[in-house]
Amino acid sequence: MQSPSGAGQFFTEGADLAYTDPLTGLGNLRRFFDKVDRLILDRADDPAPFAIGILDLDGFKPINDLFGRSAGDNILQQVAMRLKASMDQHSTVARVGADEFAFLYPLVFSEDAAQERALMLIEILSAPYDVGDRTARLSASVGCSLFYSGEEKTETLVSKAETALYHAKRSGRGKVVVYTREMEEAAKRTTRVEQALRRAVAAEEVEPHFQPIVDLKTRQVIGFETLARWTDRDLGFVPPNVFIPIAEERGIIGPLSQLLLRKATETARNWPDELFLSFNLSPSQLVDQNTAEQILGIIAKTGFDPRRLEIEITETGLMTDPASAEKIVSELRAVGIRVSLDDFGTGQSSLGRLREFHFDKLKIDRAFVSSILEDKPSEHIIRAILAMCEGLGMDVVAEGIEEEGQASRLVQFGCGGGQGYLFGRPCDAEATMGYLREAYRSMARLRTA
């Protein structure tokens, strides 16, 4: 990135350019590592604690897109000035990434003190930034780690701070997290699950299970949702809410999803033709332009009718890259695949998404269904959703139905489809066939009665 005019005010006379960030005049990653290396060496005989931290600007890319690259550079210079002004004579701040800064506090000896200093930095950066005749606001997330032992290296401290930053960003904007041993253990557990999951996907050991979706009025099965299940030979049963996020974060979700779709469509092609198969796409798949081609290739190989396939996507997935998601959805719908919006009501701009995308079906989140019998606001929200879907010509499925009273109330409100433990838990392929045989026998008995 070129240094714009005016950036020179940050430079100190005789500065070594190899250690300096040309945009802000702060030290760069190389200088930061050098400073920490020297401090560790100085304290080798008496390892008194000190703190480092990594600060990441929240949502800086949208600001760059909105105001332009030049304005974005100017904001980064203002951030640098504020951070540098907040440092005492012993402390150091450096720019170590596009919108990441690192700081070194040699005289901070405790986790509480590191937290307090980092919160102060966030507060300093929260004041408005001048961008020509406009202003912009920023928040920041910070991850900190403390040096305790002469055996620790700079790379270790930075890695711990990055882990803490990851936890800070996951917990929301403007947060500070200081690295703890519990995080270290959690990171080790995550790595164990990741390695085992990679083996399991390669060995095709992850299996699809199927949960029935019913017509609420007749209680007849109309389709099944595919859910991933995995039992590892060493780890035992690993819940999907544990391994699915890891698959997302570590880049395994694509191969995992393809494996599950292939197995699921091989099973579902043996079901009665009137039953559909519902399959979830992850947010990362909605930004991968190979997704539609992969799905179409799999159903072509397994011989599954695309008109019997429903793809479920969440609003979070849509918001990551709406243009990419729209292209993928269009390619799938062109061959007859239906598209559902999952977990409706939990996103931040659901109504806008319904206007921009043409969904075939909407799934009401279980959070509303679980409280429908005792919570008036949930009842009113569900009624409003159903009225809206009727106007838009969309089918509706309510998720998480566990009680007969919930099902009855939903029928009363005009909800067409239902899913939940009341109608059946997720089962493997063999048990699902048994479920279907029994369901169709019951239907036959009712017809002849």
Whether residue 122 lies inside any domain: the answer is yes
Whether residue 334 lies inside any domain: the answer is yes
**According to the model, what pLDDT value does residue 350 have?**
55
Which of these three, 179, 210, 231, is where a domain ends? 179
CATH number of the domain residue 104 falls in: 3.30.70.270
Q: Residue 417's closest CA among 432, 399, 405? A: 399
Whether residue 185 lies inside any domain: the answer is no
Question: Residues 439, 355: one domain?
Answer: yes
Whether residue 184 lies inside any domain: the answer is no
User: Would you state the structure tokens that stand for residue 183, as one six-digit string?
Assistant: 């995080």
Q: Which amino acid is at 49?
A: P
Whether residue 189 lies inside any domain: the answer is no
Question: Residues 32, 127: one domain?
Answer: yes
Q: Spell out the long-range contacts of 153-159 with Cβ–Cβ below 8 A and sequence spacing 24 or more.
A: 153/40, 154/33, 154/36, 154/37, 154/40, 157/36, 157/52, 158/33, 158/36, 158/52, 158/54, 158/102
Report the alpha-carbon distance of residue 291 to residue 299 in Å, rounded.
13
Whether residue 1 lies inside any domain: the answer is no
Question: Residues 374, 249: one domain?
Answer: yes
Whether residue 190 lies inside any domain: the answer is no
In whole angstroms, how far apart are CA 105 and each of 18, 20, 139?
23, 19, 21
Question: Residues 223, 252: one domain?
Answer: yes
Whether residue 187 lies inside any domain: the answer is no
Question: Residues 204, 175: one domain?
Answer: no
User: Would you state the structure tokens that stand for residue 433, as one six-digit string?
Assistant: 């066939």
**According to the model, what pLDDT value does residue 160 have?**
94
User: Taking the model in full, what pTM does it have?
Assistant: 0.74
Question: Residues 164, 205: one domain?
Answer: no
**According to the model, what pLDDT value does residue 375 have?**
86
Question: Residues 173, 257: one domain?
Answer: no
- Catalytic member of 205, 399, 402, 430: 399
What is the count of structural domains for the chain? 2
Question: Residues 363, 413: one domain?
Answer: yes
Question: Residues 109, 84: one domain?
Answer: yes
Active site residue 182: no
Task: List Cβ neighbours of 212 (8 Å cut-off, separation of 6 or more).
Answer: 221, 223, 224, 419, 423, 424, 435
Question: Residues 171, 210: one domain?
Answer: no
**According to the model, what pLDDT value does residue 118 have?**
97
Query: What residues in the chain have per-residue pLDDT under 70?
Result: 1-15, 345-353, 446, 449
Question: Residues 304, 386: one domain?
Answer: yes
CATH number of the domain residue 399 falls in: 3.20.20.450
Question: Residues 228, 305: one domain?
Answer: yes
| Host domain of residue 54 | 7-179
Chain Cα centroid distance, residue 334? 28
**According to the model, what pLDDT value does residue 353 have?**
67
